[in-house]
Structure 1
Amino acid sequence: MREFLVELTTTVPEGTDPAEVDRIRGAESVRAGELASGGHLVRLWRPVGELRSIGLWRADDEAELREKVLGTLPLWPWMTAAITPLQPHPNDPGSAGTAA
């Protein structure tokens, strides 16, 4: 699987019932757990003071990531995504075979 850095910004449509927002956010939490268990969601961060998420995600390619992974998130219809495909860096301290 390839890795992707994904920035997600959620904008709830004005006038949406707060109870519906809470229900969808609950479902989002459940689905994120499922995607983590399946190896697609690796890490997730929220910048301090911001209402967006930055995550490390895995999928076979960007089409799978958009359609079969991110597209299954309950909040996806309200999200915008900036997706950056990643590749290993030769100086990555977390990778085996790193040059000294």
Structure 2
Amino acid sequence: MEFFVDMVTTVPDGTTPEEVAAMREREAARAAELAHEGSLRRLWWPPLAEGEWRSWGIFSASDASALEEALASMPLRAWRRDTVTPLTPHPNDPGLGRP
């Protein structure tokens, strides 16, 4: 199954720039692992407001529980709110390889 995930991160007040940098580094490493495993398929930044941290992602997982396990393994989850939308193929999807 594929899932669209809207990820909104709020850095807690009082977090130092060094803590933010370390968290982002750990998040990037875990995202790379999830991509290598095939769980994280795509990742975008939508238009952002000043100071906003938000990402949109396409994830693959066998079911919602497996997706939750992947999302929970990401370090930024401690500061993040995720909204998950399950996706189903559209018959006119050009990605299905039909002429």
- TM-score surpassing 0.5? yes
The number of residues matched between the two structures is 96
Structure 1 distance, partners of 2:94, 2:66, is 28
Structure 1 distance, partners of 2:36, 2:14, is 34
4+ residue runs over 6 A deviation: none
The letter of the residue matching 1:65 is L
Identity of paired residues, percent? Answer: 47
Unaligned runs of 5+ in 2: none
Encode CA deviations 1:32-69: one digit per residue, 9 max, x unaligned: 00000000000000013343100100111111111x20
Structure 2 distance, partners of 1:17, 1:49, is 22
Give the match for residue 63 of structure 2: 61
Give the match for residue 93 of structure 2: 92
Q: TM-score, normalised by structure 1?
A: 0.90
Higher helix share: 2
- 1:52 maps to 2:51: no
Give the match for residue 27 of structure 2: 28
C-alpha RMSD over aligned residues: 1.2
